[in-house]
Amino acid sequence: MKKLKNLLVLMMAVMAVVMVSSCGGDDNDIEVAGGAKAVAGNYVSTLNCEVTYGGQKVPFSYENVAVTIVAKDESTIDINVSSYSDEKRGAIEAIEIKDVKVADENGSYTIVPKEFNGSTASGKAYSGTLKGSYAAGKLSLAYSLQYGVMPMPMQNTYEAQKSAE
């Protein structure tokens, strides 16, 4: 009887391992394939920003911000955001977000959410999260940007039509 109990416990443990390993979480992931070359290009538009300061959301924008997207392979891009500035807030140096995945969804493309970090040409650290989409020549990006020693992140949105090449 004791051997039967031990065998039953062992079988239950094996089944638990099999069931957990079969739930790897990949079923809900977006399939990444072939969208990078469609999204690649040059874009120029207004970057809308929002910072929460003293409990209030403070919106502002920067004109003529250039975004360049380079396809690394069929499903991976690098995103380069140009520097931008104004007299009130100073300058934000150019940033690069590398190895971003793009998923093709029947002619509409999803820029798969990604955490990023890096440093500017002058050595200022930056980090954040990015997500976006591309359809009918229009790029939409939403990303948080923790830049340098800023105490709070900038919440950025950017929409632009692809420039003619």
In-domain check, residue 54: yes
In-domain check, residue 10: no
In-domain check, residue 107: yes
Q: Return the DSSP state at 28.
A: G
Q: What confidence category does residue 4 fall into, taking pLDDT thresholds of 50, 70 and 90?
A: very low
How many domains does the chain fold into?
A: 1
Distance CA 99, CA 111 (A): 11
90: containing domain: 36-161
The C-alpha angle with vertex 111 and arms to 165 and 154, in degrees rounded to 5, equals 95
Q: Return the DSSP state at 87.
A: T
Q: Is the pLDDT higher at 53 or at 66?
A: 66
In-domain check, residue 51: yes
Residue 26 has pLDDT above 70, yes or no: no
In-domain check, residue 2: no
Q: Return the DSSP state at 162.
A: B
Q: Which of 80-84, 142-146, 150-154 has the lowest mean pLDDT?
A: 150-154
In-domain check, residue 26: no
The answer to whether the CB of 93 falls within 8 A of the CB of 122 is: yes
Domain with residue 53: its CATH number is 2.40.128.350
Residue 7 has pLDDT above 60, yes or no: no
